[in-house]
């Protein structure tokens, strides 16, 4: 069993304008787009904390998705600006998860969760990369 670690309360909000291409004939966002928005917010939080994905990949690390969940309360529509808020949760030295809330003008539309694991050259890591640990964990290294 992996030891849970104390992590900094890292949160981030990405602001995304709904594009026409992301909607169906009724101007409602297609369900597959929410995963793309989750990824955009996740990419931003890593970059903003000094650990951009391209730097990890240059070292041979990847963080594949193990699971994704979404709960849809109300649809998002063309032209709206969605706020994709995420926070780091349920973490240990190998796995990490983010919780998401998508809001429009403060109204909750969707919640979600993604769980990831670090790999190096397509093999599971024994420990997360040092840069990740330093950026997200208070008791790292």
Model confidence over 74-130: pLDDT tens digits? 999 999 999 999 998 877 778 889 999 999 999 999 999 999 998 888 787 877 788
| Cβ neighbour number for residue 139 with a 10 Å cutoff | 8
What is the number of domains present in the chain? 1
Which residue has better confidence, 128 or 12?
12
Query: Would you call 14 exposed, middle or buried from its count of C-beta atoms within 10 A (0-12, 13-18, 19+)?
Result: buried
Distance set, CA 44 to CA 2, 5, 75 (Å) = 27, 23, 24
Q: Where are the alpha helices (DSSP H) in the chain?
A: 33-48, 53-58, 130-136
Q: What is the reported pTM?
A: 0.86
Q: What is the pLDDT of residues 65-74, one digit of tens each?
A: 999 999 999 9
The counts of H helices and E strands in the chain are 3, 8
| CATH label of the domain that carries residue 85 | 3.10.129.10
Question: Facing residues of 123 across strands?
Answer: 120
Question: What distance in Å separates the CA atoms of residue 105 and residue 101, rounded to the nearest whole number?
Answer: 12
Tell me the two tokens of residue 40.
């955009």
Answer for the pair 48, 12: CB distance below 8 angstroms, yes or no. yes
Catalytic residues: 24
Residue 102 lies in a domain: yes
Tell whether 26 is covered by a domain: yes
**Residue 87 CB burial class (10 angstroms; 0-12, 13-18, ≥19):** middle
Q: Using CA atoms, how far apart are residues 41 and 84, in angstroms rounded to an integer? A: 7
Q: Does a structural domain hold residue 123?
A: yes
In a domain, 62, yes or no: yes
Domain that holds residue 32: 11-136
**Does residue 104 form part of some domain?**
yes
pLDDT of residue 89: 82
């Amino acid at each position: 069993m992996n030891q849970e670690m104390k992590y900094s309360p890292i949160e981030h909000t990405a602001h995304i304008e709904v594009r026409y291409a992301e909607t169906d004939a009724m101007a409602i966002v297609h369900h597959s787009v929410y995963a793309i928005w989750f990824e955009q917010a996740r990419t931003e939080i890593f970059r903003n904390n000094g650990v951009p994905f391209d730097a990890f990949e240059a070292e041979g690390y990847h963080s594949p998705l193990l699971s994704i969940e979404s709960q849809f309360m109300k649809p998002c529509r063309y032209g709206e600006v969605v706020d994709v808020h995420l926070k780091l949760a349920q973490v240990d030295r190998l796995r990490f998860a983010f919780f998401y809330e998508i809001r429009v003008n403060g109204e909750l539309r969707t919640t979600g969760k993604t769980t990831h694991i670090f790999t190096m050259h397509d093999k599971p890591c024994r420990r997360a990369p040092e840069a990740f640990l330093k950026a997200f964990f208070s008791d790292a290294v």
